[in-house]
Chains A and B, each alone.
Chain A
Amino acid sequence: MVELIKEAIGIGWPVFLLLIGLLLYMQASASDPEQKKAVTFKTMIGMLCALLVFIAIANYKNNFYGESRLLPVSLVMITVMAFIMGLYFPNIGALMKIGGFMFFVAAALSGYGNWLPQVEGGFPPPEVKLDFQSMSAQQLGDEGEKIIFGGIGASKTQGAIGKGQCPLCHGFQQGFLSERAPNLYGIPDRAAERLKEPNYHMNDPASRPSVQKEAFEGSGTATNGQEYIAESHACPSCYVVPGFGVKGSNDGESPMPTIHKPPISLNLGELAAVDTWMYVREGKDAPAYEDIVASYEKFIPEKDRPAEGGEEEAGPGGSLLADGSEPIDKLFMKAGCPGCHTVPGIEGATGKVGPVLFEGSNAPNRIKDPGYKGKAKSVKEYITESILDPNLYVVKDYPPDQMPKDFGVKLSAGAVNKIVDYLSQLKEGQPLPPKE
């Protein structure tokens, strides 16, 4: 408070000087002692009010971007000042009381706004360059889950949402209420069934009752389940599931945005990841990456395909720790693993916070552990899982929540693969693997 008062005086000293000058002038010019007393009193009130105003300004200045939520206090101070002025200076009384009341209303509303839970909309998520083509189905599926729900394993959390924004409207779990758009559980099987719906008009797009007959002129219709999924993403209005059309369009138009266009703008690799997850999570074999991409290419003309990796769209803070092009030693250093782990063969990697990474030997045992809740079936899957979701299985005698959970976005897929490859070859009592 003392600091604040000092700052207030620092800002408002010319006004205080002026008031003191005024006080001296009035004292000199007034002859009646009563009048002198009144003038002194009023000037003091004026100075008090000026002090309140400058404290309010100083507080405003200090807390403008602050998280302390104290800004409305300034408005309350000005309210008090206005009412004091209104009380002692009747000639401007009405104005001061009205002004004071307005400040009071504004202070109350500002205070209310600051009292409510504070949500800040962050920058758009940075786009991370991933090499989808070289991923396994499980990895691709995990990426898909991240795109849909914002994280691996997040599909089980209601309300979780990722870049694709799908759960805003679609339900994904069996039996979940999905009012805005169809529930996508079972879509791998259902997709082929949709082709037989009377309004789908397979191979006869001109007969469709929808506002848009084809994804683009000459694209034709889907002829198998995967193509149906691709067409739904690329041209949501080509076929609308009964009951889910735009109100009044008689199911001729879909409210769903085109997924490869802004604002969502998923590229073909990301779309393939999303589709793969929908197959994999139901335990079904997903079509090959190339086949999924081909299904999209049928419905998205080349000029409309978003660039892989997002070029200029990468927003602030989108830097990677490592992109996988580094030699293995440097890669481990950049990723920061040696800080906590001992990694045999990597110079300086002697951390003791986490376990020694003889993963070639450790992983099979951990997968067999009754406390293991992950989904990995192989050593490489286990290591990938541990990097991307470290809390899924915490090695006995080591504390949980120690390892960062954002390696999925901080490391490129290539970097993760490279780390996984190396660690999977580390076996206790056996020679170290080659570094390249």
Chain B
Amino acid sequence: MGRLFTRMTRKNKRLFAASLLLVMGAMLLMPILMAIPAIASGGGAPAGGPPPDVVAAQKAAGEGEEEKKVEMGRDVYYKTEGPAIGMPAPKTEDNETFYPRYNFESRVLLWFANQQHLYYGSFVLAVPIFCMCIEFAGMVSKDKAMAKKYDQLAYDFIKISLTAYSLTAVLGGILIFTFLTLYPAFFGYLSSIFRPVMHIYALMFVAESGTLYIYYYGWDKMREGVMKWVHVSMSVILNVIGTVLMFLANSWIAFMMSPAGVDEQGRYLGNIWHVLHTALWNPLNVHRILGNMAFGGGVVAAYAAYRFLSSKTDEERAHYDWMGYIAMSLGVAFLIPLPFAGYWLMREVYSYRQQMGITLMGGLLAWLFIIQATMIGILFLSTNYYLWQALGRMTGGERFQKYIKYLVFILVCGLLIFITPHTIVMTPAELKAMGGQQHPVLGNYGVMSAKNGGINAIIMTTILSFIWYQRGNRVPTVSWAKFGNIFMGCFFVVAQLNNVWLACYGYFIPANVRIGLSVPQVAGTLSCLFLMTPLNLAMLRNGRQLGPIQWGKIPPRSQYALIMLATAFTWMMGLMGYIRSSVRLFWHVNEIMRDNSPWAYTHTIGFAANVISFNVLFFWISIMFVFWLGTLGAKKAPVTGPVTQPVPGSPAPQPAAGH
């Protein structure tokens, strides 16, 4: 067999690897493939025919036989007719039967169990995606040393996630027990609705575990040749399974927010696809994938920061400095599109139920979005701070230091504008005292276009910091460098002026027209991101090197920026999860199953903030323990050698090129 491989051409090897993977993938995804007929028979088409057995039953009933007549129900969302084969949503009452309790608020206990499971789940789903990218980067890298370094990094990542993986499963078990103990009626109802896919969920979990263990333990065996291709591709399968798992888990919360596939009484109508594919399922899926990635990047960056700060040797410091940088870059790369995914989700929320959107953005939960805005500001400020500190490890980076104060000024102004609230819910008495919905002076603060201007200024400044970082130790030498610099400068100035002008212009036009200004404002920012960053890279191609990147020479305070990023990501995730969940107000399943527990009210912001902080700190304390466990079994030295020290003028080394 081995000989056969060695005789194969590179193309054939890839072909073989691809076929092998296809088979593996097919086997792993077998549960879904097998379930498809069941789903299809559930009436996947919008017209939603009943399953064959029910049709038969109906026919039989129509023929006058003594078959029980199946009542038809109308889908609350899809408006299709279907046989009401499920049980109606239970009408609960505030008693021990429906809501067994300890001497503590059940909702907070469930909140805690859910949040911890979610943190770990997000982390273990995000890390394999990083591994896939980094391992692939290592495999295609022509620089052998760099390839090895990337490979080691990917291995380090998956090693961290492996311990967390078992903890995720444990927490999942705790979550189910918490549900069963504290909310049996509600959990029983949800389980009855999702019964057709619950076994798929379980099987996918088995498949995920199997693939993960093969992927991790087969790392050394599959290090070379065609097996490396198989190994990398296994990470693709791992991620596909992980994503399907997450989509299935998301379908529960999406159903709770925007139920479909059931009638008004909550009876399942035989079409599982409708239950899964609710109004908010896909926006939630996209938002969560991006969120997981940003969060995963944050956690790995914090791990690297911890290892950096506790390093005893320069080699270790260099390795973890680099690891932190890569993790931070990946995290931020997914943070940038996150607001757009959030915007989509919010738009879908508004189109699903306008009141739900208003409760979120202009009603009961509006103050929480002010906290969110502050958090976004903190994330961008930390990112910028890290990049400025990182300039310190590059010869030539000091050229930019004197301009940083101007960036700080723009960032602070942008942040202050961005976090200023506009119309917040007021009591009628307050409104009366103020003489209208808007205060004559304060009403001018926090206008949407100005806030958009603030955040766009922040993002543009971050892009500029990143471009300076890319140029830290390099000078462009292309013939059109001067023109390129002028063009880039002008582009940034015009984009910023456009942003500021639109922010001001918004004050002179009605609110409904003003909303439209966000499009040209965002367009300017995205143009900076997608045009200027590649242009900068093109200019730096074969550029003159002023000196090497001295990995490990970054000031230790920079690592606190990474920790700040990680903590803020975690906190923001807790906050947004709370917002998403509490928007259902007093419904377990929106408009279908009412929450009649003693906790069917919405907590104050302060209480929510305290619980979020507790969840965040519990997660970090527990994951520190996981990190420590990871170091116990560390037989392999993570550092593979001294950091590349390129000769000035020679082609840039990979870490630099990989900015």
Contact = CB atoms under 8 A, between A and B. Distances in A.
Contacts of A109: 371, 375, 571, 609, 612-613
Nearest to B362: A168
A277 interface: no
Interface string B532-560: 00000000000000000000000000001
Given A121-B602, A124-B600, A112 B374 contact: yes
Interface of B: 91, 93-94, 264, 302, 305-306, 309-310, 350-351, 353-355, 358, 364, 367, 370-371, 374-375, 424-426, 428, 431-432, 436-437, 510-512, 560, 563-564, 567-568, 571, 582, 585-587, 590-592, 594, 596, 598, 600-610, 612-613, 616-617, 620-621, 624
A98 B306 contact: yes
Given A121-B602, A262-B591, A257 B353 contact: yes
B612 to A, nearest CB: 8
Contact of B436 (A158, A257, A263): A158
Contacts of A102: 563, 567, 616-617, 620
B371 A116 contact: yes
B511 A118 contact: no
Given A179-B510, A263-B585, 4 more contacts: A112-B374, A113-B605, A157-B428, A263-B587
Interface stretch (A3-11, A136-144, A193-201, A308-316): A308-316
B141 to A, nearest CB: 31
A112 B563 contact: no
A106 interface: yes
Closest 6 CB pairs of A and B: A113-B609, A121-B602, A114-B606, A94-B310, A94-B309, A262-B591
Interface stretch (A34-42, A68-76, A353-361): A68-76
A246 B306 contact: no
Given A154-B428, A255-B354, A312-B91, A113 B606 contact: yes
B306 A121 contact: no
A122 B601 contact: yes
A407 interface: no
A118 B371 CA distance: 13
A145 to B, nearest CB: 13
B624 A99 contact: yes
Contact of B563 (A69, A93, A98, A117): A98
Nearest to B364: A121
A315 B436 CA distance: 33
Interface string A237-268: 00000000011000000011100011100000
Contacts of A169: 354
A98 B355 contact: no
A21 B588 CA distance: 52
B648 to A, nearest CB: 34
B334 to A, nearest CB: 21
Interface of A: 64-65, 69, 71-72, 75, 93-95, 97-99, 101-103, 105-107, 109-110, 112-114, 116-124, 150-151, 154, 157-160, 165, 168-169, 177, 179-180, 246-247, 255-257, 261-263, 312-313, 315-316
B591 A95 contact: no
A68 to B, nearest CB: 10
A107 B571 CA distance: 11
6 contacts: A75-B613, A99-B621, A165-B355, A180-B354, A312-B93, A315-B586
A247 B512 CA distance: 13
Given A101-B564, A109-B371, A116-B605, A313 B594 contact: yes
Contacts of A124: 585-586, 600
Contacts of A103: 617
A98 B305 contact: yes
A110 B613 contact: yes
A426 B208 CA distance: 81
A121 B601 contact: yes
Contacts of A263: 355, 585, 587, 590-591
**Chain A contact residues: over half helix, strand or loop, or mixed?**
loop
Contacts of A151: 428
Contact of A98 (B91, B309, B353): B309
Nearest to B309: A94
Nearest to A63: B610
Contacts of B587: 263
Contacts of B374: 112
A262 B355 CA distance: 12
Nearest to A117: B367
Nearest to B616: A106
A261 B358 CA distance: 19
Contact of B602 (A69, A114, A120): A120
Given A121-B601, A168-B358, A315-B600, A105 B310 contact: no
Contacts of B620: 99, 102
Contact of B432 (A64, A157, A261): A157
A72 B585 contact: no
A18 B653 CA distance: 55
Contacts of A261: 264, 591
A255 B605 CA distance: 29
A105 B571 contact: yes
Contacts of B351: 246-247, 255
A79 to B, nearest CB: 11
Contact of B367 (A97, A106, A116): A116
A363 to B, nearest CB: 28
B610 A110 contact: yes
B259 to A, nearest CB: 11
A262 B94 CA distance: 20
Contacts of B94: 316
Contacts of A97: 309
B608 A119 contact: no
Nearest to A150: B428
Most interface-central of B306, B612, B613 (chain A CB within 10 A) = B613
Contact of B605 (A118, A123, A313): A118
A211 B302 CA distance: 52
A159 B512 contact: no
Given A120-B603, A124-B586, A255-B354, A72 B610 contact: yes
A158 B426 CA distance: 10
A216 to B, nearest CB: 10
B309 A110 contact: no
Most interface-central of A65, A121, A312 (chain B CB within 10 A) = A121
A114 B368 CA distance: 11
A356 B427 CA distance: 34
A114 B608 CA distance: 9
B470 to A, nearest CB: 28
A72 B605 CA distance: 13
Contacts of A159: 425-426, 428, 431, 437
A315 B354 CA distance: 24
B433 to A, nearest CB: 11
Contacts of A165: 355
A72 B613 contact: yes
Nearest to B264: A261
Nearest to A118: B604
A358 B266 CA distance: 55
B310 A95 contact: yes
A102 B621 CA distance: 10
B609 A114 contact: yes
B225 to A, nearest CB: 40
Contacts of B604: 118-120
A112 B371 contact: yes
A64 B112 CA distance: 15
Contacts of A65: 607
A114 B536 CA distance: 44
Contacts of A158: 428, 431, 436-437
A94 B91 contact: no
B277 to A, nearest CB: 19
B601 A106 contact: no
B564 A105 contact: yes
Given A69-B606, A102-B620, A313-B594, A94 B432 contact: no
A67 to B, nearest CB: 8
A134 to B, nearest CB: 30
